[in-house]
Amino acid sequence: MFGPGSEFHGFFNDPRWALAMVRATVLEAAHPQVGAALLDNSTFLAHPWRRLRNTFLSMQRMFSADEQVRKREAARLNRLHARLNGTGSDNRPYDAMDPAVRAWVVATLFESAVTMCQLSGQSLEQKAMERLYAEFRTFLATMGDEAGHLPVALADFWPYFDRVVARELENTEAMRIILYKLFDHLPAPPVLNGFPALWATGRAIAGPVIGAITVASLPEQFRRRAGLPELAGAQTLMQGAYLTVGLVRFLPESWIQAANIADLLALSPHSDDPRARTITALHEQMKRAGALLRLVTPFPPEPEPAGGAETQRSAAEFFAEVLDQTGDGFLDWPDLAAMARELSSRLDLDEPEETRLYTAYADWWRELQTALDTDGDGRVSAREYATAVPSLAGPSLIRVAEVLFDVTDKDGDQHIDADEYRALFQTAFHRDTTDTRGAYDRSAFVSEFLSFMSGRRRTTPYDPLLAQA
């Protein structure tokens, strides 16, 4: 069912899967419960590349050939989903542990994989489709959900899918953001940071095209009900896109491995990864191209921070880039929970360390809420934050730093060594952080973390951790 030889494994490095995943995400976001959970808790708007990479790594683990890896990832996802519940802006409750909703998410992945093959002119044979469906049902069972939430037989799946599309999906705000706003404001991946003109030019072209392709690929009955406009020629454009992207899979396998592409997109020029040298050289060439492009395009260059690797950022910049993880313009618990989630994912934490980190962030949120929420609406606005100009290094933030050090220091020797540092920051030691032993001690780590969070400094190791998209 899993690993090499499975039907899904054959799709993992298929470039068509990129288009199919966008389509599946739109169908997920059209479900009212999923849409509300995304708006309230997800970092897909403010940190889309980080979210994409984390989702990819999770899928890798869930379809691993190693049963223990699958079980551990399933337990991690269940803990994550158990924390995602609340009431949406329409006053309807949502719960990420709702088994029917989780079944729908799996259903969109399976149906989009089948549709992907159909649109690219290579429909799956019946037996292959049945095997793929069995794999996705097993995926759901691995999560601990009852298998009955997805029909047992493939023949019964299609009426189930059509019924949910017809009766439950809506034109949600989250769906509209993914289709029409996400690509308009999509920040550059870390590897392309510093080239706003080049990125803006490509995004201005690709965004509307991807949106049109996705809308054209959605079920017709849902397009009509949701009032989604379909551009003239969009069906032809969509089929041409799937056919063209499908041809890419005939390139050498090493060129199109999804893991390599995901790592490259997330790669910082400051990384100790050998590929970073090549990226740095490409950056120099792209700077020249970017300068030329700025002369002939209307996209103004975005200001670059002056003063090298460590400079002060304004309170507004710090709020938007670091504190507001969900991108909704406010600071509340989901933003700090997103920080805990990202750190837990990077360090691959298990219990009880994961809960310790979440608890530390929850305590910090209560401290911030008490100090900064002047109008009592349960959240902190950018204006409230900027007006207070707070010193964030209170007792609870110090506790966050202490717990983060503890969970990073895997061997408990009170020093973070090179491997532990790389696990957290995904780069080699920053030269200024090591002591005479060549390690990062507790006091230095806590001091640097508090300096970043309260002094609003741009720093080489910490910005990729919490600020970059």
Residues composing the chain: 469
Look at residue 110 in the predicted model and tell me its pLDDT.
94
Q: How do residues 154-165 score in pLDDT, each as one tens digit?
A: 999 999 999 999
What is the C-alpha separation between 365 and 3, in angstroms, rounded?
A: 41
Q: How far apart are CA 72 and CA 350, in angstroms?
A: 8
Do 147 and 48 meet the contact criterion of CB atoms below 8 Å apart? no
Tens of pLDDT, residues 17-26: 888 888 999 9
The half-sphere exposure of 85 on its side-chain side, counting CA atoms within 13 A, is 10
Strand 380-381 and strand 330-331: pairing? Answer: antiparallel
Q: Say what percent of the chain tops pLDDT 90.
A: 39
Q: Confirm if 214 and 22 have CB atoms less than 8 A apart.
A: yes
To which residue do tokens 């934050």 refer?
385
Q: List the single range of 301-310, 380-389, 419-428 with lowest mean pLDDT.
A: 301-310
Residue 409 has pLDDT above 60, yes or no: yes
State both tokens at 413: 């020797």
Question: Whole-angstrom Cα distance, residue 153 to residue 158?
Answer: 10
Q: Domain residue spans in the chain?
A: 8-249, 315-467
- Rounded Cα distance between 382 and 316, Å, is 7
User: What is residue 253's predicted lDDT score, i.e. its pLDDT?
Assistant: 63
The whole-angstrom separation of Cα 21 and Cα 236 is 20
pTM as predicted: 0.81
pLDDT at 304 > cutoff 60: no
The mean of the pLDDT values for the chain is 82
C-alpha–C-alpha distance, residues 343 and 200, integer Å: 30
Residues paired with residue 93 on neighbouring β-strands, in sequence order? 87
- Rounded Cα–Cα distance for residues 213 and 236 (Å): 9
User: Could you tell me which CATH number the domain at 315-467 has?
Assistant: 1.10.238.10
Q: What are the percentages of helix, strand and coil residues in the chain, rounded to 5?
A: 65, 5, 35
Specify the pLDDT at position 305.
43
Higher pLDDT, 128 or 257: 128
**Reported confidence tier of residue 128, pLDDT bands at 50, 70, 90:** very high
Mapped onto helix, strand or coil, the DSSP state of residue 5 is: coil
For residue 276, pLDDT beyond 80: no
For residue 242, the cross-strand partners are none
Whole-angstrom distance, CA of residue 424 vs CA of residue 345: 9
- How many C-alpha atoms does 232 have within 13 Å on its Cβ side? 0
Question: What digits encode the pLDDT tens for the residues 17-54?
Answer: 888 888 999 999 999 999 999 999 988 878 877 887 78
Q: Which carries the bigger pLDDT value, residue 166 or residue 316?
A: 166
